[in-house]
């Protein structure tokens, strides 16, 4: 599409003014990224929590964030909020003079490790695309939402935004060019997330990682990544569990999370297939076969948190097949 600026009336000449959708409200779910062995390339969606974004299409050419509910630490300046670069990139790609009025409702606490910035970015991109009459493909929307991640963490990664948009379990096969691959979701796969009441900035968690890793470490990580993908398609829960081991990020990031070793051990002792750090942390995830097993795991991990004297929230969910949706 030409980048020449055109008005909304010229963009949608086949619709009368009273027929045009100018305001919409959508939500996007929390996500667990990395899944231990898949740093920056694996992620899955869970049912809750979620972020909600309401967009109103205007012809002002400005992005205006009217309100942010559920969080008092985020900026309403669109240059400092993840929705800003997402919407600006989409308007530029459309070549229109459009602007947006935005209301954000944060159900996912920033710095929680379950895709807070991704959920807001995806909700904004998904809503804007609907207002633009579905002008962009899912892959293009992932690319736009990644601009929010770039602002939040300094890295435009897709392992949270892709499952937040599409649901399910997603593999990012390539970033240049971007290629997103939906993976099989075994029917009995459940996820538990424990979110301690602390915040770890993604940018900080990325800074402490080694820039280079030994070849022997990389080989072990590649084996686990391949094993996890194979386990998902074969619906081999044992193989899934044996593959949920991280030799790259977890050894560095574990020290940032109070009680992590005990949390992980309690999950495994309670029957979890595997457990690890969700994204950059501090949230810790565990995968289980079946809801009953997942509930036992959640109760075991919760007891550890009570023992640590740390406030927390606990979530139990199947892998959500639903990503961003209209509210």
Catalytic residues: 149, 202
User: Angle CA(72)–CA(53)–CA(2) in degrees, nearest 5?
Assistant: 125
Cis bond before residue 32 (omega within 30° of 0): no
Cα separation, 217 vs 131, whole angstroms: 46
Cα separation, 277 vs 283, whole angstroms: 6
194 in Cβ contact with 276 (< 8 Å): no
Cα separation, 160 vs 162, whole angstroms: 6
Q: Which residues contact 266 (CB under 8 A, 6 or more apart)?
A: 300, 301, 303, 304
Q: What are phi and psi of 220, to 5 degrees?
A: -65, -40
Measured CA to CA in angstroms, residue 17 lies from 8, 91, 153, 326 at distances of 10, 20, 40, 22
CA R_g for the chain: 20
């Amino acid at each position: 599409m030409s980048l020449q600026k055109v008005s909304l009336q010229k963009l949608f000449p086949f619709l009368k003014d009273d027929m045009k959708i100018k305001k919409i409200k959508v939500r996007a779910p929390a996500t667990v990224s990395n899944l231990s062995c898949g740093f920056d390339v694996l992620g899955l969606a869970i049912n809750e929590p979620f972020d909600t974004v309401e967009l109103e299409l205007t012809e002002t050419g400005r992005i205006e964030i009217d309100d942010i509910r559920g969080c008092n630490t985020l900026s309403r300046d669109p240059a400092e909020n993840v929705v800003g670069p997402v919407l600006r990139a989409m308007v530029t790609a459309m070549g229109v003079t459009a602007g947006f009025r935005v209301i954000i409702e944060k159900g996912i606490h920033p710095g929680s490790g379950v895709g807070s910035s991704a959920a807001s970015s995806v909700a904004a991109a998904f809503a804007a695309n609907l207002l633009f009459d579905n002008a962009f493909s899912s892959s293009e929307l992932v690319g736009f939402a990644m601009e929010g991640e770039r602002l939040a963490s300094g890295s435009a990664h897709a392992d949270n935004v892709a499952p937040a948009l599409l649901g399910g379990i997603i593999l990012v096969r390539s970033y240049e060019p971007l290629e997103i691959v939906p993976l099989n979701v075994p029917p009995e796969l459940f996820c538990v997330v424990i979110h301690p009441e602390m915040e770890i900035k993604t940018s900080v968690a990325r800074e402490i990682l080694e820039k280079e890793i030994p070849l022997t470490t990389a080989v072990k990580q590649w084996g686990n990544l391949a094993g996890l993908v194979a386990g998902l398609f074969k619906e081999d829960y044992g193989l899934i569990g044996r593959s949920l081991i991280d030799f790259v990020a977890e050894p560095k990031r574990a020290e940032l999370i109070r009680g992590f070793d005990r949390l992980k051990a309690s999950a495994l002792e309670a029957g979890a297939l595997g457990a690890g750090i969700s994204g950059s942390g501090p949230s810790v995830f565990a995968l289980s076969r079946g809801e009953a097993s997942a509930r036992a795991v959640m109760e075991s991990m919760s007891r550890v948190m009570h023992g640590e004297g740390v406030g927390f929230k606990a979530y139990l969910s199947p892998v959500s097949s639903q990503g961003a949706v209209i509210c």
